[in-house]
């Protein structure tokens, strides 16, 4: 006697009669395409993406390499910063979101990273010095020493045979050769120069620095060399064959104040006076003091006209210069006054020594550790009122609440590899290389000393291969390693999801894994990565922390920016090919450069055997519960056992925006004969739709069907 027909029901979280929940079915990583589960367990189609800057792209042939929403702290202002090709722009807030004039010129197609600090947005890209945006202009962070010029050396035009590395990260000498390291820019004769050299990793040997007719030999440790040039000779570094260290070099020209006694007009005492000057930027950051002037001899009741240097580089936004003076015949410097611009070249010193000594001395009023940030930092982070910068394998950190970087405020990561990620997590700062994740301890200590900082391993074998994959997901940190995605919980690291990692390893173009980028939005970790032979991100996977589900999106972007303050809740992204910013998960279609595109969406269910994988069945009908915003066509693709997928069975869907409806789909021939069936309901349109349940009507066959 033939068995009765049965119904196998798959439902959402609200369905009390189903045998299994739709979201609980096991799936491959790419089984769900352009859909995800809502809080009720319904499978909903993703929204599309729309053009944010709706006019012509910023560039027709350069991608977006930096994107950030800057929310000002003390003013009511918010700005969309965009990096494209060689420029940094702000997109207008008004509809159309057009670009204005370039705010800064940068190295072409260089990834930029952002941190909001107090009321400024700091920008690092590994090529330019640390920049900052104040809502109006971009200028360089770090005032530098009074009287010091901008950096003289360039990152290009180096001859480095026998050396490895770069000017920004440092040049490492290969032992057993004495090949000269050189840079071709000519010195200016009769100029005071300061050469700063930082030496790390050295256990043997030394080197000689020569520049502009001056030279310093037998250098084996970090230091500073100041001299007056006598020629235009360019820089050379000559190592001994045994020198095994790494050198970071900086050259700046120097100017010092010059005092001229007036002979009257003041309250100075008789004796010799010296002066120093500091630069102050628009944010109140004051650099280290210049070298002291030569002594100027005054008579009683004299005044001294001080010629003070200006900072000729407008990138630093210097708005004031402070002048410090000794007492007659003294050696300590006291605050004497200021010039409220960066153009005036003289200052008149008139006040008496008794009045001057009431002010703080330079040593107390202004510690000599207001150093500028290191040159060309690649990465940036913040925690506990400090700025953290990654340069090579070193992490530099600022004084608490300031942009000052004392010379000894740095620490190398434990495995001595280049830093690939910096991110704050709860009470710690996580710093990653490709092969490690290390916690920086001491970040909450208020004592200003690098002795309180140390690294401790969170994970010592896997790290970050793509800087932009490192994302905070509600205090869990997710990173992309060549073996897949890993989750960091303070001092523990484990795989995020085995199925996703298997898929990524099989599909990732490992040669360009560093181009991957990610974000955390709507409870999901979203990763765009280069698939197959692609060299830029071309597919996106997601992991939903709300329910542990996953899937793929067929879009991909070069950089993401989550806008989540000041009443905003949106996700923006930058194109991988042109200067276009997109509003992601907006609208019902994908707004590509060539026109609006349908979104194909489907769910590939696993094979269903209804509890009896070895028993033959006759499958008659498929019922699917759907909600849609418009009339459309659903295709019920299905696969029987090991046969090819059938893609010809369709069903018309009516508009049911506020209600749901069951649709009956009859399988051809009055039913199909199989052991198991795999369903893939799909649509491709510009409408919203969702799946709320599926029923399969089947009957188990007689025993003889299983005996063939």
Q: Give the whole-angstrom CA distance, residue 176 versus residue 242.
A: 6
- CATH number for the domain that contains residue 695: 2.60.120.260
Percentage above 70 pLDDT, the chain: 96
Sequence-distant (≥ 6) Cβ neighbours of residue 637 within 8 angstroms: 602, 645, 646, 647, 649, 679, 680, 681, 682
Q: Is residue 707 predicted with pLDDT exceeding 50?
A: no
Q: Model confidence over 533-581: pLDDT tens digits? A: 999 999 999 999 999 999 999 999 999 999 998 889 999 999 999 999 9
412/548 same-domain check: yes
Report how far apart, in Å, the C-alpha atoms of 521 and of each of 571, 577, 647, 703 are: 7, 23, 34, 52
Q: Model confidence over 377-423: pLDDT tens digits? A: 999 999 989 999 999 999 999 988 889 998 888 899 988 899 999 99
The backbone torsions φ and ψ at residue 506, rounded to the nearest 5 degrees and listed phi first, read: -80, -25
Q: Which of 651, 540, 504, 497 is nearest to 33 (CA)?
A: 540
Tokens encoding 268: 């100075």
In a domain, 650, yes or no: yes
> What is the predicted pLDDT for the residue at 447?
55
Q: Give the whole-angstrom CA distance, residue 379 versus residue 42.
A: 41
- Let me know: does 352 contact 269? Beta carbons within 8 Å: yes
Question: Which whole number is the average pLDDT over 453-474?
Answer: 86
613/703 same-domain check: yes
Q: Model confidence over 260-297: pLDDT tens digits? A: 999 999 999 999 999 999 999 999 999 889 889 999 99
Q: Give the whole-angstrom CA distance, residue 168 versus residue 419.
A: 14
Question: Is the four-CA dihedral 47, 52, 56, 61 of positive or negative sign?
Answer: negative
> What is the predicted pLDDT for the residue at 191?
85
- Using the 3D structure, point to which of 541, 569, 598 is the last residue of a domain: 598
Name the one residue in this structure whose structure tokens are 């972007």.
Answer: 557
Q: Model confidence over 170-224: pLDDT tens digits? A: 999 999 999 999 999 999 988 889 999 989 889 999 999 999 999 999 999 888 8
Determine the 3-state secondary structure of 508 from DSSP. Answer: strand
- Using the 3D structure, point to which of 141, 171, 203 is the last residue of a domain: 141
8-state DSSP, 302: B
Q: Model confidence over 230-253: pLDDT tens digits? A: 999 999 999 999 999 999 999 998
Q: How confident is the model at residue 459 (pLDDT cuts 50, 70, 90)?
A: low
Q: How confident is the model at residue 2 (pLDDT cuts 50, 70, 90)?
A: low
> What is the predicted pLDDT for the residue at 684?
96
Average pLDDT of the chain, as a whole number = 92
8-state DSSP, 168: T
550/502 same-domain check: yes
In a domain, 147, yes or no: no
In a domain, 151, yes or no: no
414/495 same-domain check: yes
Find the domain containing 425 and state its range.
Answer: 49-54+374-598
- Using the 3D structure, point to which of 302, 337, 365 is the last residue of a domain: 365
* More confident position, 290 or 42: 42
250/271 same-domain check: no
Q: State the Cα angle at 686 between 667 and 22, rounded to 5°.
A: 50
Percentage above 90 pLDDT, the chain: 75
> What is the predicted pLDDT for the residue at 708?
46
Question: Which whole number is the average pLDDT over 438-460?
Answer: 68
For the chain, the 3-state helix, strand and coil shares in percent, each to the nearest 5, are 5, 45, 50
> What is the predicted pLDDT for the residue at 3?
78
Report how far apart, in Å, the C-alpha atoms of 418 and of each of 114, 169, 195, 199, 411 are: 19, 9, 25, 17, 12
379/337 same-domain check: no
378/353 same-domain check: no
- CATH number for the domain that contains residue 565: 2.120.10
* More confident position, 131 or 453: 131
In a domain, 149, yes or no: no
443/568 same-domain check: yes
In a domain, 1, yes or no: no
606/584 same-domain check: no
> Based on the structure, what is the number of domains in the chain?
5
* pTM for this entry: 0.87
403/346 same-domain check: no
> What is the predicted pLDDT for the residue at 365?
66
413/461 same-domain check: yes
In a domain, 457, yes or no: yes
Q: Give the whole-angstrom CA distance, residue 391 versus residue 373.
A: 11
483/427 same-domain check: yes
């Amino acid at each position: 006697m033939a068995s009765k027909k049965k119904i196998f029901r798959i439902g959402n979280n609200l369905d009390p009669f189903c045998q299994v929940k739709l979201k609980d079915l096991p799936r491959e990583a790419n089984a769900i395409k352009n859909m995800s589960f809502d809080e009720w367990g319904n499978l909903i189609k993703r929204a599309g993406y729309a053009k944010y800057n709706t006019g012509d792209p910023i560039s027709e042939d350069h991608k977006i390499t930096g994107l950030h929403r800057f929310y000002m702290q003390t003013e009511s202002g918010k700005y969309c910063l965009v990096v494209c090709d060689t420029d940094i722009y702000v997109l207008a807030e008004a509809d159309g979101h057009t670009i204005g004039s370039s705010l800064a010129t940068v190295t072409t197609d260089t990834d930029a990273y952002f941190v909001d600090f107090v009321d400024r947005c700091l920008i690092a890209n590994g090529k330019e010095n640390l920049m900052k945006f104040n809502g109006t202009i971009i200028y360089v962070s770090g005032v530098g020493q009074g009287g010091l010029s901008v950096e003289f050396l360039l990152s290009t035009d180096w001859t480095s045979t026998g050396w490895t590395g770069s000017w920004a990260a440092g040049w490492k000498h290969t032992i057993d050769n004495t090949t000269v390291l050189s840079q071709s820019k000519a010195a200016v004769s009769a100029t005071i120069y300061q050469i700063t050299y930082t030496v790390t990793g050295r256990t043997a040997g030394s080197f000689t620095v020569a520049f502009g007719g001056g030279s310093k030999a037998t250098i084996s440790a970090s230091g500073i060399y100041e001299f007056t040039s006598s020629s235009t000779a360019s820089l050379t570094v000559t190592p001994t064959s045994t020198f095994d260290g790494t050198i970071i070099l900086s050259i700046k020209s120097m100017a010092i104040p010059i005092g001229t006694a007036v002979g009257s007009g003041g309250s100075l005492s008789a004796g010799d006076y010296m002066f120093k000057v500091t630069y102050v930027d628009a944010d109140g950051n004051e650099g280290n003091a210049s070298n002291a002037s030569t002594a100027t001899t005054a008579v009683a009741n004299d005044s001294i006209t001080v010629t003070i240097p200006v900072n000729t580089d407008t990138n630093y936004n210097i708005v004031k210069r402070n002048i410090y003076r000794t007492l007659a015949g003294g050696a300590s410097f006291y605050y004497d006054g200021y010039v409220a611009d960066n153009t005036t070249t003289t200052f008149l010193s008139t006040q008496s020594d008794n009045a001057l000594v009431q002010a703080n001395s330079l040593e107390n009023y202004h510690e000599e550790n207001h150093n500028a940030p290191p040159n060309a930092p690649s990465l940036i982070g913040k925690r506990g009122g400090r700025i953290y910068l990654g340069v090579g394998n070193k992490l530099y950190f600022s004084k608490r609440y300031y942009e000052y970087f004392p010379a000894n405020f740095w620490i190398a990561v434990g495995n001595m590899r280049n830093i690939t990620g910096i991110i704050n997590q709860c009470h710690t700062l996580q710093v990653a290389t490709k092969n490690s994740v290390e916690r920086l301890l001491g970040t909450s200590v208020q004592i200003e000393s690098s002795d309180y900082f140390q690294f401790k391993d969170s994970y010592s074998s896997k790290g970050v291969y793509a800087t932009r994959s490192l994302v905070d997901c509600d205090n869990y940190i997710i990173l992309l390693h060549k073996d897949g995605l890993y989750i960091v919980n303070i001092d523990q690291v484990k795989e995020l999801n085995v199925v996703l990692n298997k898929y990524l390893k099989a599909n990732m173009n490992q040669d360009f894994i560093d181009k991957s980028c990610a974000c955390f939005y709507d409870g999901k970790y979203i990763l765009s990565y280069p698939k197959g032979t692609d060299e830029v991100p071309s597919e996106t996977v997601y992991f939903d922390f709300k329910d542990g589900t996953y899937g793929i999106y067929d879009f991909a972007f070069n950089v993401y920016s989550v806008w989540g303050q000041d009443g905003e809740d949106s996700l923006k992204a930058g194109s991988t090919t042109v200067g276009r910013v997109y509003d992601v998960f907006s609208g019902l279609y994908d707004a590509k450069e060539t026109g609006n595109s349908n979104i194909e969406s489907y769910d590939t269910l696993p094979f269903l055997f209804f509890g009896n994988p070895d028993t033959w069945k006759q499958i008659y009908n498929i019922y699917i519960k759907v909600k849609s915003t418009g009339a459309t066509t659903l295709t019920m693709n299905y696969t029987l056992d090991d046969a090819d997928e059938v893609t010809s069975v369709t069903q018309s869907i009516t508009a049911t925006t506020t209600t749901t409806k069951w649709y009956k789909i009859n399988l051809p021939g009055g039913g199909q004969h199989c052991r198991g069936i795999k369903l893939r309901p799909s649509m491709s349109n510009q409408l919203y739709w969702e799946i709320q349940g599926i029923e399969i009507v089947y009957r188990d066959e007689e025993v003889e069907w299983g005996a063939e």
